[in-house]
Amino acid sequence: MSSERFEVVIVGAGLSGIAAALTLARAEVEVLVIERGDFPGAKNLFGGILYSGVLAELVPNFWEEGPVERHIVNRRWAILNEDSQVALDLKSARFDTPPYNNTFTALRSKFDRWFAEQAEQAGAFIINETTVEGLILDGDRVTGVRTGRDDGDVLADCVILAEGANALLSEAAGLRQPMSPTNRVNAVKEILALPPEIIEDRFHLEGNQGAAIEYFGGAVKGMVGSAFIYTNRDSISVGVGCLIDDYLRTKTAPYDLLDEFKAHPAVAPLLRGGVTVEYATKMIPEDAYNDLSDLYAGGVMLVGDCAGLVNPSIHHEGTNLAMASGVFAAEAFLEAREKSDFSAAGLASYRRRLDASWVMKDLAHYRDTVHFLRYNREFVDDYPRLAIEVIRDYFTIDDTPKADVRRRLIRKVRDEVAFFRLVRQLWRARKTLV
Amino acid sequence: MPIDVKDYLKPHVTLSMAERLDLVRRRFADESHIVVDQEAFKKDPDQAILFVCPAQVFKLNEKEGTCIVNFEDCLECGTCQVARRYTTWRNPKGGYGVTYRFG
């Protein structure tokens, strides 16, 4: 039996895998991308924001040709309780000109397909409808992949695992820590169709401008997670995502959480007339920085979600980290190829490149975010609720003298907040939340 | 064609799970890609996969106390296996399972 051989095999046509394939193909490397869906993007999902700094380097002015939905000029971070919303709202004309703050909404089924076409045009091979079922090993060195096809072994100098958050191959090969309820979020989202004119009117936008709203606190019942609404061209994405451990702890179903969020009095008016055209779900990795593996071994590198490269803080970036890791893996391969050394030592520059970049600097900074929130639940539950109540009551008009209101609210905060605990928490929060 | 604003002032209607799943194109394989260890499931006091699965793939057979696995409804997130390791989840065979129109 003869096996096919490529210089690089990439498992998974998502943003990280395609970014690697595009970079390698441009350097005239023989690269094969193996995708289990009908086409690149068929099974790919995200909340909805494409952070595009790396993309703009790979494909300059991608927004002119690529199927992005809207550029985000308005960001809002809101906390909810049962009846109220308090929000920080940022809208800037600076985000309205290229490169548009590197922040776009997109729909992955369309976008990834286009992005994969760029890699194909550069010379990458992409094979669809093919599931990689295992890695081929020679000692402790990965030498290829075993696919579900007959005669389906493919050998390679280097395998790049870009298999996504459900990191079955990486985990089975011991290349990453096991997935667990405390390092995985489950997110569900719906796409609601709405005409562009309605979206622009409702969200105060013009032309291709877009809005991105994140909701915390009571929006997800005080769990570690958030809810969101993002505007696409002629639809909006509405979803929730929480740590799986929190769903288990509170015996909450993700779809029930989504339905409650959609019914909130501050949310429901934004959804009026929206017809659900898709329901989708994915896991999101929130592997703490300290728990990340080396992310490479002999003949193999991990990129994107399976490597755990998501910023778990309020920034919640993933797409840009995914693409950056794909590019770094490609560059590490090119360096290894010069010496024909694809051993772990030969590929070690992958991790060095990550470590020297904003990717690992950000992940290192937010290394404790998820842990901190799990053990300081006041930040996702009590404090947001208290903040809303204080602000709501402060602006409640009932002919009480303002001095009395102030006194009452100060007393309320004193009663409900353990002062020294808060001081200590805020000291720690500087490196976990902001 | 001009749009009628009135059409978009009505409340959004939340769909049932069956209606939601019908929106996603799925190609069914002959064999399940999800296997539940029934003995371990019975011993799980929360029977967590019944509610944590976003597609309600798992239903309780109340008579037998076992778990029914409607693998055709799976949206391939993998949450079940992470939530409870008595669930074994594999990728469906190439070309099978979900295809998102939007993603």
The helix (H) or strand (E) run that includes residue A157 is strand A153-161
Q: Considering the entire predicted model, what is its pTM? A: 0.96
Q: Hey, where are the domains in chain A?
A: 4-67+107-177+287-356, 184-285, 371-429
Q: B6: helix, coil or strand?
A: helix
CA distance A269 to A85: 13
CA distance B15 to A275: 9
Note the pLDDT tens digit of each residue in A36-75. Answer: 999 999 999 999 999 999 999 999 999 999 999 999 999 9
B42 touches chain A (CB under 8 A): no
Task: Tell me how close the Cα of B27 comes to any Cα of chain A, in angstroms.
Answer: 10
Q: At what angle do helices A15-26 and A319-338 cross, to 10 degrees?
A: 30
Least Cα distance to A366 among A312, A291, A421 occurs for A312
Each of the 434 residues of chain A gets a pLDDT tens digit; together they read 457 999 999 999 999 999 999 999 999 999 999 999 999 999 999 999 999 999 999 999 999 999 999 999 999 999 999 999 999 999 999 999 999 999 999 999 999 999 999 999 999 999 999 999 999 999 999 999 999 888 899 999 999 999 999 999 999 999 999 999 999 999 999 999 999 999 999 999 999 999 999 999 999 999 999 999 999 999 999 999 999 999 999 999 999 999 999 999 999 999 999 999 999 999 999 999 999 999 999 999 999 999 999 999 999 999 999 999 999 999 999 999 999 999 999 999 999 999 999 999 999 999 999 999 999 999 999 999 999 999 999 999 999 999 999 999 999 999 999 989 999 999 888 878 78
Task: Tell me how close the Cα of B4 comes to any Cα of chain A, in angstroms.
Answer: 10
What is residue A410's predicted lDDT score, i.e. its pLDDT? 95
What is residue A325's predicted lDDT score, i.e. its pLDDT? 98
Question: What Rg value do the Cα atoms of chain A yield, rounded?
Answer: 23
CA distance A345 to A296: 9
- φ/ψ (deg, to 5) at A406: -60, -45
What is residue A150's predicted lDDT score, i.e. its pLDDT? 84
| A–B interface: beta-carbon pairs under 8 A | 171
- Which of B7, B92, B103 lies closest to A41 in CB terms? B103
Token pair listed for A275: 């017809």
- Burial state string for A90-99 with b = 16 or more CB within 10 A and e = fewer than 16: eeeeebbeeb
CA distance A52 to A102: 5
Q: Which residue of A has its CA nearest to B6?
A: A273
Residue B3's pLDDT band, with cuts at 50, 70 and 90, is: confident
- Burial state string for A260-283 with b = 16 or more CB within 10 A and e = fewer than 16: bbbebebbeebbbbbebebbbbbb
Length of chain A: 434
Q: Which residue of A has its CA nearest to B7?
A: A273
Mutation target to probe the A interface, by most A beta carbons within 10 A, among B10, B35, B50, B79 is B79
Partner-chain contact B76 A166, CB within 8 Å: yes
Note the pLDDT tens digit of each residue in B39-75. Answer: 999 999 999 999 999 999 999 999 999 999 999 999 9
Inter-residue contact B8 to A195 (CB < 8 Å): yes
Cβ-based contacts of B76 with chain A (< 8 Å): 43, 166
Partner-chain contact B52 A130, CB within 8 Å: no
Q: Which residue of A has its CA nearest to B97?
A: A37
Phi-psi region of A84 (alpha: psi -120 to 50; beta: other; left: phi over 0): beta
Note the pLDDT tens digit of each residue in B9-49. Answer: 999 999 999 999 999 999 999 999 999 999 999 999 999 99
Peptide bond before B92: cis, by omega within 30 degrees of 0?
Answer: no
Q: What is the DSSP annotation of B58-71?
A: EEEETTTTEEEE-G
Can you tell me the ipTM of this complex? 0.97
What is residue A378's predicted lDDT score, i.e. its pLDDT? 93
Q: Strand A300-302 to strand A296-297: parallel, antiparallel, or no bridges (unpaired)? A: antiparallel
CB-based burial label for A44 (10 Å; 0-12, 13-18, 19+): buried
Task: Tell me how close the Cα of A186 comes to any Cα of chain B, in angstroms.
Answer: 7
Helix extents (H) in A13-106: 15-26, 53-58, 62-65
Diameter of chain A measured on Cα atoms: 88
Partner-chain contact A278 B101, CB within 8 Å: yes
Least Cα distance to A67 among A111, A18, A115 occurs for A111
Q: Which residue of B has its CA nearest to A192?
A: B12
Mean pLDDT, range B81-95, rounded to an integer: 96
Q: Which residue of B has its CA nearest to A197?
A: B3
Q: Which CATH architecture has domain A4-67+107-177+287-356?
A: 3-Layer(bba) Sandwich (3.50)
CA distance A28 to A72: 35
Cβ-based contacts of A109 with chain B (< 8 Å): 99-103
- φ/ψ (deg, to 5) at A99: -90, 25
Sign (positive or negative) of CA dihedral B23, B26, B31, B35? negative
E strand residue ranges, B1-103: 25-27, 34-36, 58-61, 66-69, 87-89, 97-99
CB-CB neighbours of A61 under 10 Å? 10
Cβ-based contacts of A179 with chain B (< 8 Å): 78, 81-82
Mutation target to probe the A interface, by most A beta carbons within 10 A, among B59, B85, B100, B101 is B100
Instruction: Please identify among residues 50-89 of chain B the ones whose CB lies closer than 8 Å to any CB of chain A.
Output: 51-52, 54-56, 75-79, 81-83, 89
What CA dihedral angle connects A67, A17, B100 and A171, to 10 degrees? -150
CA distance A130 to A410: 62
CB-CB neighbours of A393 under 10 Å? 14
Pick the CATH number of A184-285 from 3.40.50.2300, 1.10.287.3510, 3.30.9.90, 2.60.120.1360: 3.30.9.90
CA distance A87 to A239: 18
Least Cα distance to A361 among A425, A287, A309, A323 occurs for A309
Helix extents (H) in A133-204: 168-172, 196-202
Partner-chain contact A181 B17, CB within 8 Å: no
Mean pLDDT, range B76-90, rounded to an integer: 98
| Structure-token match 């600076």, residue found | A94
What is residue A1's predicted lDDT score, i.e. its pLDDT? 46
B48 touches chain A (CB under 8 A): yes
Domains of chain B (ranges plus CATH)? Answer: 33-93 (3.30.70.20)
- Residues forming beta bridges with residue A134, ordered by sequence position: A146
What is residue A2's predicted lDDT score, i.e. its pLDDT? 59
Q: A120: helix, coil or strand?
A: helix
Least Cα distance to A241 among A286, A186, A194, A294 occurs for A186
